[in-house]
Amino acid sequence: MLIYLVFESRSKQRALGIFPSLFSFLAMAYASFSKDMDSKIQPLLPALKSNWLIAHVITCFLGYAAFAVSFGLSVLYIVRKAIPDNPTPHTGLLAAVPNAKQLEAFNYQMILFGFLWLSVGIITGSIWANSAWGTYWSWDPKETWSLITWLIYAALLHARTMKGWQGPRIAWLSMFGFGCVLFTYFGVNFLLSGLHSYAR
């Protein structure tokens, strides 16, 4: 929500908060009602007592949050692209949403922002891993899926910059990338075991 609020203050667009608000609501509901969440304070494992871990978590979350906002912008872009610019009684709600060109520009800026922070998150994570486990990279499932997510967004930026991809292809690739973000954050913990298994 913080990233969205900064984005809103800079873009002066107040109609784009539906997806960030929905994601925040779902995250808080999951944290509040999930049986997997332990409300008791537990002592940290020795591997978690590191300033590099703090930097790693914050930067990765900034990247993931930006990709969440990008996902919402991509969905709105696909919907807005299908609706004419001149609103009708059936499209009154979309009249407050920026046009497709503006949404695409906002989406690109958010992806760049998220890609920067995810890159920093992976770097700080590897430094933390070296201090905690003695190796910068161990092909742990979480590390591998973080790299896959990074490569998807890198491919998106490359395709847009070097190949001239625009419009729906970028929006769909952005949504696919966010699916990988969700799997990296949630799916890996529940389906695969590894060095990050204590995050369950």
Distance from C-alpha of 171 to C-alpha of 109, rounded to nearest angstrom: 13
40 CB burial (10 A radius; 0-12, 13-18, 19+): exposed
Enter the DSSP assignment of 17.
-
Q: Which pLDDT score, from 0 to 100, does residue 17 have?
A: 74
Q: Which pLDDT score, from 0 to 100, does residue 12 have?
A: 76
SS3 165: coil
Nearest to 11 by CA among 79, 117, 113, 118: 113
Q: Which pLDDT score, from 0 to 100, does residue 41 have?
A: 60
Q: Which residues of the chain have pLDDT under 70?
A: 15, 34, 36-48, 84-96, 189, 191-200
Q: Which pLDDT score, from 0 to 100, does residue 164 have?
A: 84
- C-alpha torsion angle, residues 115, 119, 122, 126 (rounded to 10): 180
- At 23-51, the pLDDT tens digits run 788 878 877 776 766 666 666 666 667 78
Q: Which pLDDT score, from 0 to 100, does residue 193 have?
A: 57
Global pTM?
0.79
Distance from C-alpha of 174 to C-alpha of 73, rounded to nearest angstrom: 9
Q: Which pLDDT score, from 0 to 100, does residue 114 have?
A: 95
Distance from C-alpha of 168 to C-alpha of 144, rounded to nearest angstrom: 28
Task: Quote the tokens at residue 149.
Answer: 């997510």
